[in-house]
């Protein structure tokens, strides 16, 4: 039931209709909700202007009239806006919860609006007030369980990535760990098809193989020497590296999604490295607690209470995948609305108020 999603899925050819789609996208990106309302309003304005166009009026005159109307409308909105800034914390929170509930009223989660509005406000309140960076709020969908089994993690959470043998021996919980973020492969490269190596005696081949092993071990040694307890990489971490880290009580995860990596980077203060040369403690991040937990049928890595930048993750539960996907869009709209209210510190009652 998300207006922006419906419009995105339509195959639109008419120029005027394309304009409406662009308006809806702009509304969705900037405000996050009200895409259907803005389309209805814009459609009505176009409908009203059609009569004047047919009568021979120049479009610029109509545009000028609409601009004057816009000024009057904005003036009216500012006059009728209620300030949130002068409210105490309890009143302000109640107002934000009501705003979130209003956003969820027309959505699939309308029956659970009390539960999710509380969750959304908690998530936005976790962020730093001066920034309110929406990218620091993640929504992870886990099938199974009831919708009300959804919960908030104060920090970053993402699904356990593919792992090799040896992963089971790695520690799954740390307090104040040092976190190393990489964008390099940590595995032995297999020879490509039709690769050709010319050697004069068998010892030469052995030296080539030994050199490959030495290269990977050198990388792993440098990572361990940096003092990292957790190693995350956007690229694969192979079985050799996994076992090497397990033997030294280090947790590792390869093929971490770029979006999750970005959130971990912002939250923990770690800097993504493209080489292990010069790897020092300065580029490592930290969080108060790290643990891997079971959620439904999946394993999740949780980075809790990150000191560098406040972040939050909503773990969304439910039965069907389609339902959870729709619920995720609804929550995203509610988050954007609450964030907007906190930024502007003003709200305007709707027509039904």
Catalytic residue annotation: 2, 35-36, 333
**CA 299/CA 166 separation, integer angstroms:** 16
Q: How many C-beta atoms surround the C-beta of residue 150 within 10 A?
A: 24
Strands of the chain, DSSP E: 82-83, 137-143, 151-153, 155-159, 173-175, 178-182, 230-233, 251-253, 285-286, 289-295, 298-304, 312-318, 346-347
Query: What is each CA distance from 134 to 119, 164, 257, 316, in whole angstroms?
Result: 15, 34, 18, 17
CB 338 within 8 A of CB 96: yes
Task: Reduce the DSSP state of residue 291 to 3 states and report it.
Answer: strand
Please say whether the dihedral angle defined by the alpha carbons of residues 68, 71, 73 and 76, taken in this order, is positive or negative: negative
Task: Reduce the DSSP state of residue 295 to 3 states and report it.
Answer: strand
CB 180 within 8 A of CB 230: yes
**CA 255/CA 253 separation, integer angstroms:** 7
**CA 167/CA 311 separation, integer angstroms:** 27
Residue 279 CA to its chain's centroid (Å): 28
**CA 118/CA 49 separation, integer angstroms:** 43
Ramachandran angles phi, psi of 22, nearest 5°: -60, -40
Question: What tokens does 245 get?
Answer: 């880290």
The 8-class DSSP code of residue 286 comes to E
């Amino acid at each position: 039931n998300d207006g922006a999603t419906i419009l995105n899925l339509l195959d639109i050819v008419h120029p005027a209709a394309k304009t409406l789609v662009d308006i809806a996208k702009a509304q969705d990106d900037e405000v996050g909700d009200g895409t259907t309302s803005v389309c209805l309003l814009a459609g009505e304005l176009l409908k009203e202007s059609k009569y004047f166009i047919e009568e021979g009026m120049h479009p610029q005159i109509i545009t000028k009239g609409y601009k004057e109307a816009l000024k009057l409308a904005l003036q009216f909105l500012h006059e009728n806006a209620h300030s949130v800034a002068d409210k105490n914390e309890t009143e302000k929170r109640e107002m934000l919860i009501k705003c979130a509930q209003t956003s969820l009223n027309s959505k699939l989660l309308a029956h659970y609006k009390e539960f999710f509005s509380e969750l959304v406000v908690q998530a936005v309140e976790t962020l730093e007030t001066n920034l309110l960076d929406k990218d620091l709020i993640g929504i992870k969908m886990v099938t199974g369980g009831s919708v009300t089994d959804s919960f908030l993690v104060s920090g970053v959470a993402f699904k356990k990535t593919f792992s090799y043998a040896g992963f089971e021996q790695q520690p799954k919980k740390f307090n104040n760990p040092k976190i190393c973020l990489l964008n390099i492969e940590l595995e032995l490269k297999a020879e490509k098809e039709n690769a050709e190596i010319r050697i004069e005696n068998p010892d030469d081949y052995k030296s080539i193989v030994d050199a490959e092993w030495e290269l990977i071990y050198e990388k792993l040694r440098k990572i361990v020497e940096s003092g990292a307890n957790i190693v995350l990489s956007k690229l694969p971490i192979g079985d050799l590296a996994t076992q090497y880290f397990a033997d030294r009580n280090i947790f590792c995860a390869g093929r971490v999604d770029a979006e999750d990596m970005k959130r971990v980077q912002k939250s923990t203060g770690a800097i993504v490295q493209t080489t292990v040369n010069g790897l020092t403690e300065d580029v490592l991040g930290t969080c108060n607690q790290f643990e891997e937990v079971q959620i439904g049928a999946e394993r999740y890595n949780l980075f809790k209470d990150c000191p560098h930048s406040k972040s939050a993750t909503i773990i969304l539960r439910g039965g069907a995948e389609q339902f959870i996907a729709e619920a995720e869009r609804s929550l995203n709209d509610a988050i954007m609305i609450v964030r907007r209210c906190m930024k502007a510190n003003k709200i305007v009652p709707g027509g039904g108020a």
